Amino acid sequence: MIVGVYGSGGCGRGVLPVIRDQYSAELDPADLYFVDDTPTLSRINGHSVLAFDDFVSLSGSLHVVLAIADSTARRRLDEKCSKAGLRYLPVCAQNSVLMDKVSLGEGHILSPFVTITSNVRIGRQFHANLYSYVEHDCVIGDFVTFAPSVRCNGNVVIEDNAYIGTGAIIKQGQPGNPLVIGKNAVVGMGAVVTRSVPPNTTVVGVPARPRPE
């Protein structure tokens, strides 16, 4: 198995050690690479950095992890990697916790100390950074990003491409009447979301309100 961590910035450098630990029994560290569209260094943290075309030219079973926090960029790279026939490697830190009836889509990354409780459905290319949690009966779409320490309480729907900033708290919804974070919405760092957020809207503050233009 050969694995490329697509993205050599902070996100990639945080994800690569999780992969190295999770797959230590089946992955030679020499077969674990950073992949970057415009590499400026040949090695980072002991691992080689390859351009995308150089990575896909390697011989062997190629897997990729999209370690890019921006949802739009991650979607673009997903299309590129899928077209190249690359397979996605699921990443789940050994101290993360998944409880009952959790469905995770292709390409997910669960960083250390992430908890997902029960009856949760999550789409493709989900990122949950350090110390984040998803409580019961939540539905999360594709290409959603949680920065560190996001607290998503129960009965919440988060639609595609939403970005939830560091330390944000999302209030619990009600059965049959979930709190909804709309498609392409952004929840600012430290915001406390007490009501649904429309699509394509950025909210900030306590309680969270649309950011002034």
- Which of 196, 155, 152, 197 shows the shortest CA–CA distance to 175? 155
SS3 93: coil
Active site residue 47: no
**Which residues, 6+ apart, have CB-to-CB distance to 36 below 8 Å?**
6, 7, 8, 49, 50, 51, 52
**Which residues, 6+ apart, have CB-to-CB distance to 118 below 8 Å?**
99, 100, 101, 102, 136, 137
46 torsion bin: left (phi>0), alpha (psi -120 to 50), beta (else): left
Per annotation, catalytic residue among 47, 108, 127, 136 = 136
> Which residues carry out catalysis?
136
